[in-house]
A and B are shown apart, each in its own frame.
Chain A
């Protein structure tokens, strides 16, 4: 049996005193891809931020075990260095900091954390150029300021490039597909598929079923009001698309 990467138990979290996650349970094993769907405000994005340790959210109950250990007390950078990667829905723009410098600092931060020697500029460039291919990015991207003036698709591809470089055990893709045209969507999805190994796992949060035509999830979860209310396979996503989120309302009512 493969290793359990993530185990979320009855997780509750709030922001500004308002409870958003209301007892969420989820277990993810190595090699698995889990999709989480749900309408706006169901708590999908909150869940991704809580996993990564965003300071604005307060965990009020339950636990998050990552590789068997609770990470609730860990700082966001510690979690990152231990292999939790969040591909942001809205990657921030940083003027004046080149993409290459940012990637190198991030890469070296991880090496330092694991007691490895930092890698020099030249070796790093070679390494990055290899990874560029994953997201079909042109080397000129590296010279530009981080995400500044990038199109939506370029920003998302850049997130996947970072993921390729940092080789996380758990990747969380927060609405990476939103606003992408079909070509960018394909590139991003192919990148994600290329990076999948039997050792790592990912959570794909999406608002649109279309992404799941390109990234095949093992499980599809539906979130509703801070909980996972239904779990199924890819067919569940298709059903959702067909019948709309009103379908969940019905589900929840039947359940109640």
Chain B
């Protein structure tokens, strides 16, 4: 947890400067209260530094050097959209630019009445009221950046499936950043509710509407909250492919009631600094959580995934596989906690972190952590760090492959274990290409 000590420091001033930019005339009373509470939390906090255990390997000091201004509403051409839109979600996608809803770019014509896909402002009053109270409270442990997001909250992407709704097509939420000449920040927010026995397939994608190699730094501070009611199923793929000048700080908080299944596929390719806190809370029996992660970084990128799954009741399942492909001078950080308290008997938990280092300067810091106090459980964990095997490359080359092709074949096989778990074909293809251009020069 980030420290909440009230001290006047440089970072404190820094946060205040960010806070001042949020308009104070928010719409609903509920939302205003929410923002005010979040604001006071931010005001009494400081930015974490390397002395904080949870931020040991992820240095935010570069963030302090930038003077971020709240990003304005921006226009994005439909051409750019072509780059990001998926074949399967042509008629089931919503688009946000710099955190603002863009109805023009969105298309939800294939969505039926059992699922709401749109923005928070467009949601009916009853459901708005129902959700607003939870927005601030249920963000999990790592609170500071989530609170910063809430402090400026005006709108959000919302997907809401009614009981027994079975969405047969995937739904895409596209959050685009439109960087400008000066340093900007935006704060996208996403809310997903799957009512009893409903079924959703969601792609949440972060991208840049501009030059991928853009030089102007920008900050995306994003929060996604997902509620699964009894027996609901959500398959959620989160793709981060921001420009290499981006600081991407993200929180995904998932709450699961009994008999529900959540699968989260985290794909991270872009950003100079990426920090993702995934926090899953199992709140009922026989709840299943699957977390898959693939991080592909190069240059001087840093990608940090902190996950925390709390099991609280019997017959829970957690499967986690996090893979990192690290080249050049990049650094990957993984910290995965699974808590299995006494009450969570008959838990089945596996956690594995595999890392592939493609250069001698690439680095990995990994800490898979299982904390078990129950006595009738099956738990496994492990971490591996490896390089491409000389012998394997040689074998492939002796069969006529060029060195780069041989290498890519092996890298592709490493990545495929995660990519193959994504059910959307066009996305799978695209990601395979991404891994290729990212790793083989």
Contact = CB atoms under 8 A, between A and B. Distances in A.
Interface of A: 40, 89-90, 93, 152, 178-179, 181-182, 207-208, 210, 241
A90 B261 contact: no
Contact of A208 (B231, B233, B286, B348): B231
Given A90-B315, A178-B231, A181-B233, A210 B288 contact: no
Interface residues on B, range: 20 to 34
A178 B197 CA distance: 9
A182 B199 contact: yes
A152 B319 CA distance: 13
B166 interface: yes
Given A179-B259, A181-B233, A181-B261, A152 B199 contact: no
Given A93-B348, A152-B286, A179-B260, 9 more contacts: A40-B258, A90-B286, A93-B378, A179-B259, A182-B166, A182-B199, A207-B230, A207-B231, A208-B231
A179 B315 CA distance: 11
Interface string B267-302: 000000000000000000010100000000000000
Contacts of A40: 258
Nearest to B260: A179
B391 to A, nearest CB: 31
B283 to A, nearest CB: 13
Given A90-B346, A210-B197, A178 B259 contact: yes
A197 to B, nearest CB: 30
A234 to B, nearest CB: 16
Contacts of B196: 208
Nearest to A92: B346
Contacts of A152: 261, 286, 288, 317
B164 interface: yes
A210 B164 contact: yes
Interface in B239-268: 258-261
B286 A179 contact: yes
Nearest to A151: B288
Majority SS of interface residues in chain B? loop
A93 to B, nearest CB: 8
Nearest to B346: A90
Contacts of A210: 164, 197
Contacts of A90: 286, 314-315, 346
Interface of B: 163-164, 166, 196-197, 199, 230-231, 233, 258-261, 286, 288, 314-315, 317, 346, 348, 378
Contacts of B166: 182
Contacts of B258: 40, 178
A181 B234 CA distance: 11
B236 to A, nearest CB: 15
A178 B231 CA distance: 6
10 contacts: A40-B258, A90-B286, A152-B261, A152-B286, A179-B231, A182-B166, A207-B230, A207-B231, A207-B259, A208-B197
Contacts of A178: 231, 258-259, 286
Contacts of A241: 163
A90 B233 CA distance: 19
Q: Which of A89, A93, A182 has the most CB of B within 10 A?
A: A182
Contacts of B260: 179
Contacts of B259: 178-179, 207
Nearest to B314: A90
B105 to A, nearest CB: 31
A14 B68 CA distance: 64
Nearest to B168: A182
B313 to A, nearest CB: 11
Nearest to A211: B197
Contacts of A181: 199, 233, 261
Nearest to A242: B163
A177 to B, nearest CB: 8
Contact of B261 (A179, A207, A208): A179
Contacts of B231: 178-179, 207-208
Contacts of B346: 90
A178 to B, nearest CB: 4
B126 to A, nearest CB: 15
Nearest to B163: A241
B239 to A, nearest CB: 23
Contacts of A93: 348, 378
Nearest to B261: A179
Nearest to B231: A208
B108 to A, nearest CB: 22
Contacts of B197: 208, 210
A219 B260 CA distance: 28
A88 to B, nearest CB: 11
Nearest to A90: B315
A179 B288 contact: yes
Nearest to B286: A179
Contacts of B230: 207-208
Contacts of B315: 90
Nearest to A149: B348
Q: Which 5 pairs between the two chains have the least Cβ-Cβ distance?
A: A179-B259, A178-B259, A179-B286, A210-B197, A90-B315
Contacts of B314: 90
Contacts of A208: 196-197, 230-231
B194 to A, nearest CB: 13
B314 to A, nearest CB: 8
Nearest to B164: A210
Nearest to A40: B258
Chain A CB within 10 Å — which of B231, B288, B317, B346 has the most? Answer: B231
A98 to B, nearest CB: 18
The listed residue with most B CB atoms (<10 A of its CB), out of A93, A178, A207, is: A178
